[in-house]
Amino acid sequence: MGASLLEVRDLAIEIADWEPVKDVSFEVAGGECVAIVGETGSGKTLTCRAITGMLRRRGGSVVRGSARFDGIDLLTLTERQWLEVRGRRISLVPQSSMAGLDPIMRVGRQLEETIRFIAPADDPRKRARELLDHVHMARADEVLRLYPHELSGGMRQRIMIAFALVGRPELIVADEPTTALDVTLQRNILRLLKELQAETALSVILVTHDLGVVEEVADSVTIMYAGRVVEAGPAAKVLGAPAHPYTCALLAARPLTVGPGEELLAIPGLPPGPADRASGCPFAPRCARAQARCDEAVPQLETVDDLPGHLAACWLARSGDDAA
């Protein structure tokens, strides 16, 4: 794993007088797969939009922070400058694989058009076939002649990954790439991402709500709750010895983790919405271990157990407190 390719510092996003993303920081090293985990409204998708230059289309704006990618501050790029970065150095694999495809144009023509625009090749058709091969699409020639609606969900998701690879990017941002897929297909797509990452030293940001997926493919993980990072670190460490009560609760809420007859430990209540503007830790109202100070001030991310890289934002996870 190389030096930091992307470094996001204190990113805050505002939409209509509300800050759905507050002071988010994380890093992605060259060749690393970083998972961003969060539930609906945690700010994970907005964060991805900010680092792919697609935030303005959603009416949001960055109010604080920086996102440095190989020396470029992504947050200050103009739309024209983004054309040099998006698709060429950073690609997005969207959640809904249908959204990115033109329904009335054959897949092959769309892919060739993208190749001509992003990374012209002598023979765009040959390059398109190569890309489908790269994502392990069987019968590539046949698939290139199909329309988007003729593709199965798994095929569509492979095609979207092929599109993302056109410009040979250094970073792929995949927003819930497998959420709509069956488990066996999900496994294949995750494997593919992992394989591409290993083969081409590609960095991947994988947005997901599934901790099982994190366990399978991520090197490190950033857990978000209500627009803030609550825990981050090496995936094995965060999942194996979680320090934040929210991470603990997410792990305990997975039905597969309990034995026969045991009860799931559900997290009571709901994540805060735009109207909730508490002054303390955003998770405190649902936290089984909350104390008076949790309602008073927001805890900052701090190193857990003196292990560099494992961070948690919890008053109780600090040294001297029982964090188990």
Q: Which residues bind another protein (CB under 8 A)?
A: 39-40, 135-139, 142-143, 146, 150-155, 158, 182-188, 190-192, 194-195, 198, 209-218, 249-250, 253-256, 258, 260, 263-268, 270-271, 286
| Smallest distance from another protein to CB 265, Å | 7
**Exposure class string for 142-177: b at 16+ Cβ within 10 A, else e:** ebbeeebeebebbbbbbbbbbbbbbbebbbbbbbbb
Decide whether 62 or 238 has the Cβ nearer to another protein.
Answer: 238
Radius of gyration of the chain (CA): 21
| Smallest distance from another protein to CB 306, Å | 26
Q: Closest by alpha carbon to 267, among 219, 320, 230?
A: 230
| Smallest distance from another protein to CB 273, Å | 9
| Smallest distance from another protein to CB 165, Å | 14
Q: Closest by alpha carbon to 218, among 188, 187, 199, 193?
A: 193
- Burial class for 288, CB neighbours closer than 10 Å (0-12, 13-18, 19+): exposed
Decide whether 10 or 276 has the Cβ nearer to another protein.
Answer: 276
Structure tokens at 21: 């993303």
Decide whether 159 or 316 has the Cβ nearer to another protein.
Answer: 159
Amino acid residing at 223:
I
| Smallest distance from another protein to CB 62, Å | 26
Decide whether 192 or 312 has the Cβ nearer to another protein.
Answer: 192
Decide whether 149 or 293 has the Cβ nearer to another protein.
Answer: 149
CA distances from 227 to 8, 41, 138, 222, 303 (A): 14, 7, 41, 12, 20
Tally DSSP H helices, then E strands, for the chain. 10, 12
Q: Read off the DSSP letter of residue 262.
A: P
Decide whether 53 or 242 has the Cβ nearer to another protein.
Answer: 242
| Smallest distance from another protein to CB 100, Å | 18
